[in-house]
Copies of this chain bind each other. A is one copy, B any other.
Amino acid sequence: MTGRVVVAGLGPGADALVTPEVTEALAEATDVVGYGPYVARVVERAGLALHASDNRVELDRACHALALAAAGRRVAVVSSGDPGVFAMAAALFEALEAGPAAWRGLDIRVLPGITAMLAAAARAGAPLGHDFCAINLSDNLKPWATIEKRLRLAAEADFAMAFYNPRSRARPEGFSRALSVLRDTCEPARVVIFARAVSTPDEALRVVPLAEAAPEMADMRTVVLVGSSLTRVVERPGAAPWVYTPRSVPA
Protein backbone atom coordinates (compact mmCIF):
# COMPACT_ATOMS: atom_id res chain seq x y z
CA MET A 1 0.00 0.00 0.00
CA THR A 2 1.30 3.48 -0.87
CA GLY A 3 0.83 5.95 1.93
CA ARG A 4 -0.66 9.34 1.51
CA VAL A 5 -1.96 12.34 3.44
CA VAL A 6 -5.03 14.37 2.67
CA VAL A 7 -5.62 17.51 4.70
CA ALA A 8 -9.38 17.77 4.60
CA GLY A 9 -11.67 20.68 5.45
CA LEU A 10 -14.88 19.59 7.16
CA GLY A 11 -16.58 22.96 6.74
CA PRO A 12 -18.22 24.92 9.55
CA GLY A 13 -20.34 22.12 10.99
CA ALA A 14 -23.27 20.93 8.88
CA ASP A 15 -22.85 17.74 6.85
CA ALA A 16 -24.52 19.53 3.92
CA LEU A 17 -21.45 21.79 3.74
CA VAL A 18 -18.89 18.96 3.42
CA THR A 19 -17.72 18.58 -0.17
CA PRO A 20 -18.09 15.19 -1.91
CA GLU A 21 -14.31 15.21 -2.39
CA VAL A 22 -13.78 15.25 1.37
CA THR A 23 -16.47 12.62 2.00
CA GLU A 24 -14.79 10.30 -0.48
CA ALA A 25 -11.33 10.88 1.00
CA LEU A 26 -12.62 10.03 4.48
CA ALA A 27 -14.19 6.83 3.11
CA GLU A 28 -10.80 5.77 1.72
CA ALA A 29 -8.74 6.67 4.80
CA THR A 30 -7.19 4.14 7.17
CA ASP A 31 -6.37 6.81 9.77
CA VAL A 32 -7.94 10.10 10.81
CA VAL A 33 -5.77 12.59 12.69
CA GLY A 34 -6.97 15.84 14.22
CA TYR A 35 -8.14 17.91 17.13
CA GLY A 36 -10.65 15.90 19.19
CA PRO A 37 -13.90 17.72 18.31
CA TYR A 38 -13.11 17.51 14.58
CA VAL A 39 -12.17 13.81 14.69
CA ALA A 40 -15.47 13.25 16.51
CA ARG A 41 -17.30 14.46 13.36
CA VAL A 42 -15.94 11.51 11.35
CA VAL A 43 -18.21 8.43 11.26
CA GLU A 44 -16.47 5.43 12.82
CA ARG A 45 -16.13 2.20 10.87
CA ALA A 46 -14.17 -1.06 11.00
CA GLY A 47 -10.59 -0.59 9.82
CA LEU A 48 -10.50 3.14 10.51
CA ALA A 49 -8.16 4.30 13.28
CA LEU A 50 -9.09 7.62 14.90
CA HIS A 51 -6.22 9.64 16.41
CA ALA A 52 -7.69 12.53 18.39
CA SER A 53 -5.35 15.04 19.98
CA ASP A 54 -5.54 18.20 22.06
CA ASN A 55 -5.63 21.75 20.81
CA ARG A 56 -2.28 23.56 20.34
CA VAL A 57 -0.29 20.44 19.34
CA GLU A 58 -0.56 21.07 15.60
CA LEU A 59 3.08 20.27 14.79
CA ASP A 60 3.06 16.98 16.74
CA ARG A 61 -0.14 16.03 14.98
CA ALA A 62 1.31 16.91 11.57
CA CYS A 63 4.45 14.85 12.22
CA HIS A 64 2.31 11.93 13.36
CA ALA A 65 0.27 12.10 10.15
CA LEU A 66 3.37 12.28 7.94
CA ALA A 67 5.02 9.38 9.79
CA LEU A 68 1.89 7.25 9.37
CA ALA A 69 1.81 8.02 5.64
CA ALA A 70 5.53 7.20 5.33
CA ALA A 71 4.67 3.83 6.87
CA GLY A 72 2.10 3.24 4.13
CA ARG A 73 -1.15 4.41 5.77
CA ARG A 74 -3.81 6.51 4.03
CA VAL A 75 -4.16 9.39 6.44
CA ALA A 76 -6.79 12.11 6.61
CA VAL A 77 -5.86 15.12 8.71
CA VAL A 78 -9.13 16.86 9.53
CA SER A 79 -9.72 20.55 10.19
CA SER A 80 -12.95 22.44 10.57
CA GLY A 81 -13.63 24.98 7.86
CA ASP A 82 -10.92 25.15 5.21
CA PRO A 83 -7.60 23.54 6.18
CA GLY A 84 -5.68 26.39 4.53
CA VAL A 85 -7.24 29.18 6.62
CA PHE A 86 -5.86 29.28 10.18
CA ALA A 87 -5.97 25.50 10.32
CA MET A 88 -3.87 22.36 9.78
CA ALA A 89 -2.44 22.78 6.27
CA ALA A 90 0.26 25.30 7.23
CA ALA A 91 1.28 23.13 10.20
CA LEU A 92 1.58 20.11 7.92
CA PHE A 93 3.95 21.89 5.56
CA GLU A 94 5.96 23.29 8.47
CA ALA A 95 6.42 19.70 9.69
CA LEU A 96 7.22 18.54 6.16
CA GLU A 97 9.92 21.18 5.70
CA ALA A 98 11.54 20.38 9.06
CA GLY A 99 11.21 16.59 8.73
CA PRO A 100 13.11 13.78 6.95
CA ALA A 101 13.85 14.41 3.27
CA ALA A 102 11.92 11.25 2.34
CA TRP A 103 8.66 12.92 3.43
CA ARG A 104 8.91 15.31 0.48
CA GLY A 105 8.14 12.42 -1.85
CA LEU A 106 4.86 11.62 -0.08
CA ASP A 107 1.53 11.91 -1.85
CA ILE A 108 -0.06 14.92 -0.12
CA ARG A 109 -3.25 16.71 -1.08
CA VAL A 110 -5.08 19.59 0.54
CA LEU A 111 -8.87 19.40 0.11
CA PRO A 112 -10.53 22.78 0.51
CA GLY A 113 -13.62 23.36 2.63
CA ILE A 114 -16.13 26.08 3.47
CA THR A 115 -14.25 28.34 5.87
CA ALA A 116 -16.08 29.98 8.78
CA MET A 117 -16.01 33.55 7.42
CA LEU A 118 -17.73 32.50 4.18
CA ALA A 119 -20.41 30.52 5.98
CA ALA A 120 -20.97 33.48 8.31
CA ALA A 121 -21.01 35.97 5.45
CA ALA A 122 -23.61 33.87 3.61
CA ARG A 123 -25.92 33.93 6.63
CA ALA A 124 -25.61 37.70 6.97
CA GLY A 125 -25.99 38.49 3.26
CA ALA A 126 -22.80 39.53 1.47
CA PRO A 127 -20.65 41.57 3.90
CA LEU A 128 -17.46 40.29 2.22
CA GLY A 129 -18.83 41.16 -1.22
CA HIS A 130 -15.93 43.48 -1.97
CA ASP A 131 -12.20 43.59 -1.04
CA PHE A 132 -11.60 42.12 2.41
CA CYS A 133 -9.00 40.65 4.75
CA ALA A 134 -8.89 37.79 7.24
CA ILE A 135 -6.95 38.21 10.48
CA ASN A 136 -6.33 35.69 13.25
CA LEU A 137 -6.73 37.66 16.50
CA SER A 138 -4.89 35.08 18.60
CA ASP A 139 -1.51 36.31 19.80
CA ASN A 140 -0.32 32.82 20.72
CA LEU A 141 2.00 32.72 17.70
CA LYS A 142 2.53 36.38 16.82
CA PRO A 143 3.11 39.60 18.73
CA TRP A 144 0.09 41.71 19.56
CA ALA A 145 1.85 44.63 17.84
CA THR A 146 1.58 42.79 14.50
CA ILE A 147 -2.16 42.29 14.99
CA GLU A 148 -2.68 45.93 15.90
CA LYS A 149 -0.64 47.14 12.92
CA ARG A 150 -2.65 44.95 10.56
CA LEU A 151 -5.95 46.17 12.00
CA ARG A 152 -4.94 49.81 11.52
CA LEU A 153 -3.75 49.26 7.95
CA ALA A 154 -6.83 47.19 7.08
CA ALA A 155 -9.05 50.02 8.33
CA GLU A 156 -7.03 52.54 6.33
CA ALA A 157 -7.38 50.35 3.22
CA ASP A 158 -11.13 50.23 3.94
CA PHE A 159 -11.21 46.45 3.69
CA ALA A 160 -14.12 44.53 5.12
CA MET A 161 -12.57 42.26 7.74
CA ALA A 162 -13.05 38.79 9.15
CA PHE A 163 -11.58 37.92 12.54
CA TYR A 164 -10.83 34.33 13.48
CA ASN A 165 -10.21 33.24 17.10
CA PRO A 166 -11.39 36.59 18.45
CA ARG A 167 -11.45 35.55 22.09
CA SER A 168 -10.71 32.64 24.38
CA ARG A 169 -10.59 32.06 28.12
CA ALA A 170 -6.79 32.25 27.95
CA ARG A 171 -6.90 35.57 26.05
CA PRO A 172 -9.82 37.58 27.41
CA GLU A 173 -8.23 40.97 26.64
CA GLY A 174 -7.25 40.71 22.97
CA PHE A 175 -10.65 41.24 21.41
CA SER A 176 -11.29 44.20 23.65
CA ARG A 177 -8.06 45.78 22.36
CA ALA A 178 -9.07 44.99 18.78
CA LEU A 179 -12.38 46.78 19.31
CA SER A 180 -10.47 49.79 20.67
CA VAL A 181 -8.33 49.92 17.53
CA LEU A 182 -11.47 49.78 15.39
CA ARG A 183 -13.05 52.60 17.44
CA ASP A 184 -9.92 54.68 16.80
CA THR A 185 -10.07 54.12 13.06
CA CYS A 186 -13.70 53.58 12.02
CA GLU A 187 -16.95 55.50 12.47
CA PRO A 188 -19.33 54.41 15.31
CA ALA A 189 -21.94 53.16 12.83
CA ARG A 190 -19.51 50.69 11.20
CA VAL A 191 -21.33 47.33 10.91
CA VAL A 192 -20.09 44.45 13.08
CA ILE A 193 -21.45 40.91 12.75
CA PHE A 194 -20.96 38.26 15.42
CA ALA A 195 -21.58 34.86 13.85
CA ARG A 196 -21.41 31.93 16.25
CA ALA A 197 -21.29 28.25 15.27
CA VAL A 198 -22.86 28.84 11.87
CA SER A 199 -24.64 25.80 10.39
CA THR A 200 -24.76 23.98 13.77
CA PRO A 201 -27.70 23.76 16.22
CA ASP A 202 -25.94 26.47 18.29
CA GLU A 203 -25.92 28.99 15.44
CA ALA A 204 -26.47 32.62 16.46
CA LEU A 205 -26.07 35.79 14.41
CA ARG A 206 -25.97 39.32 15.80
CA VAL A 207 -25.57 42.54 13.80
CA VAL A 208 -24.61 45.70 15.72
CA PRO A 209 -22.97 49.05 15.03
CA LEU A 210 -19.37 49.27 16.24
CA ALA A 211 -20.49 51.65 19.00
CA GLU A 212 -22.51 48.81 20.55
CA ALA A 213 -20.05 45.95 19.93
CA ALA A 214 -18.86 44.41 23.21
CA PRO A 215 -16.13 41.84 23.92
CA GLU A 216 -18.59 39.39 25.50
CA MET A 217 -20.40 39.07 22.16
CA ALA A 218 -17.58 36.81 20.91
CA ASP A 219 -16.14 33.51 22.06
CA MET A 220 -13.92 30.85 20.42
CA ARG A 221 -16.84 29.56 18.33
CA THR A 222 -17.49 33.04 16.89
CA VAL A 223 -16.18 34.58 13.72
CA VAL A 224 -16.49 38.38 13.69
CA LEU A 225 -17.07 40.26 10.44
CA VAL A 226 -16.61 44.02 10.14
CA GLY A 227 -17.95 45.93 7.15
CA SER A 228 -16.08 48.48 5.09
CA SER A 229 -17.16 52.13 5.23
CA LEU A 230 -19.55 51.37 2.35
CA THR A 231 -21.27 48.32 3.87
CA ARG A 232 -25.07 48.57 3.87
CA VAL A 233 -27.72 47.26 6.25
CA VAL A 234 -31.09 46.37 4.71
CA GLU A 235 -33.88 45.91 7.23
CA ARG A 236 -36.43 43.19 6.57
CA PRO A 237 -39.57 42.10 8.38
CA GLY A 238 -39.29 39.48 11.12
CA ALA A 239 -35.61 38.67 10.82
CA ALA A 240 -32.10 40.07 11.30
CA PRO A 241 -31.23 42.65 8.65
CA TRP A 242 -29.30 41.73 5.53
CA VAL A 243 -25.78 43.15 5.40
CA TYR A 244 -23.89 43.60 2.16
CA THR A 245 -20.86 45.42 0.81
CA PRO A 246 -21.54 46.95 -2.62
CA ARG A 247 -19.46 45.92 -5.60
CA SER A 248 -18.68 49.55 -6.48
CA VAL A 249 -16.43 52.13 -4.90
CA PRO A 250 -17.33 55.68 -5.96
CA ALA A 251 -14.54 57.77 -7.48
**Which A positions have Cβ atoms within 8 angstroms of B?**
11, 14-21, 24, 58, 82-86, 89-94, 96-97, 104-105, 108-115, 118-119, 121-123, 125-136, 141-143, 146, 149-150, 153-154, 156-159, 232, 234-237, 242, 244-249, 251
Q: Which residue of chain B has the shortest Cβ distance to A81 in the bound complex?
A: B118
Q: Is the interface of A mostly helix, strand, loop or mixed?
A: mixed
B159 touches A93 (CB 8 A): no
Closest 4 CB pairs of A and B: A90-B129, A142-B249, A89-B126, A93-B244
CA distance A15 to B24 in the complex (A): 13
Contact of A92 among B16, B121, B126, B249 (CB under 8 A): B126
Contact of A90 among B112, B130, B236 (CB under 8 A): B130
A136 touches B130 (CB 8 A): yes
Within the complex, the shortest CB–CB distance from A47 to chain B, in Å, comes to 23
CA distance A244 to B58 in the complex (A): 15
Contacts of A121 in B (CB 8 A): 84, 110, 112
